[in-house]
Structure 1
Amino acid sequence: MDVRSLRYALTLAEELHFGRAARAHYIAAQPFGRRIQELERELGVKLFERTSRRVALTPAGERFLPRARRVLAEMDELIRTAEGDHAEPILRVGVLGFGLADRWAATRTLLATHHPELELSYRELDWTTQYDAVRTGEVDVAVLHDVGGADDLLVEPVMNTARCAVVPAESELAGAGRLSAADIADVPRVKLGGQPGLVDWGGAPTRRDVEVRSPAHVATAVATTGRIGFHGEPATRFFPHPGVRYLPLEGPDPVVAIASRRNDRRDTVAAFRAATLASPAADSLAAAQAEDAVES
């Protein structure tokens, strides 16, 4: 049973309004509602009655949710206990899409040099879970696409990447050198499911959109449906696909950031944050050294 879905259900029980409950977790109402439905299917009972005017707890919901609240309180206590152990050598790192892209090598080198005892355990994230995975303690730190709406977390930008449109190889747009917002204004698209901020970054949705939850699925969805998608420039190397073309697109750049809980002061978290934030400088230094070696 997914811990995040339990938290969503508890918030909905408090708010009795899907929109307000979804905003409390910084995600859109549609993926929030899906998680509630998936939880109900898994349990085999309806927790909420929904009408066009109101949301109410069912008798099954009245019985189940107090128990879920007690379980989550115990899990939160376990997380707090674990965070008190500064000697823990394993760090759970959530990664969205290509993450640090070409800077992973520099980050790992810095960690291996200064914290050789630290072991990293990686978890794949998607747009709907990138912030909540940190909040719930599923991961200790996350490398994600910062679209705002996470003021409760410590989020710092690491790098910006160029914005790209992902278009079908057979599309008349595929031969363009660069695309503007006007070029794609009325084209059906692959919508990025998750936080509301993704709507601004991915462009205004149309009624014919299809939704994907993971950056890794964008190119396949574009090739399959004939719609257009959006990505950061590193996707051209990390998510190649023979059925699509990546084209520079005007608009806001993707911001790759590192996120952790504000009250998490473990040495392992601080070490990973420091290595990640230092990776651009380390990468530049390595490139300069390589260039000097070639010239000499």
Structure 2
Amino acid sequence: MDVRSLRYALTLAEELHFGRAARAHFIAAQAFGRRIQELERELGTRLFDRTSRRVSLTEAGERFLPRARRVLAQLDALMEAAEGDPAEPVLRIGVLGYGLADRWPVTRSVLARCRPDLELTYVELDWANQYDAVRSGEVDVAIVHDVGGHDDLFVETVMDTGRYAVVPADSDLADADRLTGTDAWERPWVAPVGQPGLADWTGGRTARNRVEVRSPTHIPIAVATTGCLGLHGEPAARFFPHPGVRYLPLEDGPRATVAIACRKRDRRGTVAAFRNAVHASTAVDRLARDGAVRR
């Protein structure tokens, strides 16, 4: 969900006139109207009733827009708190797998508003170095798969996602709607390696010939190559598509937990700005999900 579209919707709710609302944001009424329509399509419901003479809020709009106003107020407060020392022009971000998944656009947008001077650089991580890259200073902050073993770092959960099996496309399981432990646990599985906590997340299931992967990006390739099953978080189906695999919801076991990791007592403004932007994206994502559920 685009933050700017939320602001447009709130202005339209106050003005109840597309032309005046568009002028308040210095854009053409036609472009303004398209953004409102895109927001409504994303939510799956109309927020406004339009006629040739008037604009009014629908019941869904009456429910959704007050929540949007609260989220944007929180977002503005986070942005204000994130304004820091402009002498730090670069933030090195370590990313494991799909990282923040769908929340990257809002996170970047918030950072661009509150720290337009800040340049983001990207460092690809794997399970073996996701914490060590933060400890060593190779990255300033990291988006990690939280599997424990990081008491010396500051780690905060930002997202947990559904647990999915990655199944070979030619497997007898590939046409199922979802899987349970009974369906799948006796099959050979690809083994993620690099952190002790991964064994608990996977339930200790491995292939008999120990097919190992060290990064979430390699799981679909390993599954398609070996015929073993793999384990992933729900966003992988969109971010790591592969013609040789299918992603199926898996009912058993812990969800995949995505977290921000940084060094304890790191008080740099750029790190605080990134953390605040991620929390803002979480609030916007929650608003979008609530709006879609309550339509």
> For residues 144 and 130 of structure 2, what CA distance do their matches in structure 1 show?
6
Q: Does 1:159 align with 2:159?
A: yes
**Partner residue, 1:232:** 233
Q: Does 1:135 align with 2:135?
A: yes
AA at the equivalent of 1:147: V
> For residues 286 and 200 of structure 1, what CA distance do their matches in structure 2 show?
32
**Partner residue, 1:60:** none
The partner residue of 1:258 within 260, 264, 267 is 260
SS at match of 2:246: strand
SS at match of 1:275: helix
> For residues 289 and 212 of structure 2, what CA distance do their matches in structure 1 show?
39
**Partner residue, 2:284:** 282
AA at the equivalent of 2:166: V
SS at match of 1:224: helix
**Partner residue, 1:45:** none
> For residues 284 and 246 of structure 1, what CA distance do their matches in structure 2 show?
24
SS at match of 1:257: strand
**Partner residue, 2:126:** 126
- Give the drift of 1:247: 0.5
The partner residue of 1:273 within 255, 272, 275 is 275
AA at the equivalent of 1:228: L
SS at match of 2:130: coil
TM-score calculated relative to the size of structure 2: 0.67
**Within 5 Å, which residues of 2 pair with 1:1-296?**
87-206=87-206, 207-249=208-250, 250-285=252-287
Where do 5+ consecutive residues of structure 2 fail to align? Answer: 1-84
Kindly, what percent of the aligned residue pairs are identical?
Answer: 65
SS at match of 2:284: helix
How many residues were matched structurally?
A: 209
- Deviation readout 1:16-47 (Å, 9 max, x if unpaired): xxxxxxxxxxxxxxxxxxxxxxxxxxxxxxxx
Where do 5+ consecutive residues of structure 1 fail to align? Answer: 1-84
Cα RMSD after superposing both structures: 2.2
- Give the drift of 1:211: 0.3
> For residues 102 and 213 of structure 2, what CA distance do their matches in structure 1 show?
24
Q: Which has the higher contact order (CA 8 A, sep 6+)?
A: 2
> For residues 174 and 283 of structure 1, what CA distance do their matches in structure 2 show?
30
- Deviation readout 1:228-257 (Å, 9 max, x if unpaired): 001011000000011101010121110110
Change (3 A) 1:288 1:186: closer
Change (3 A) 1:231 1:283: same
**Partner residue, 1:11:** none
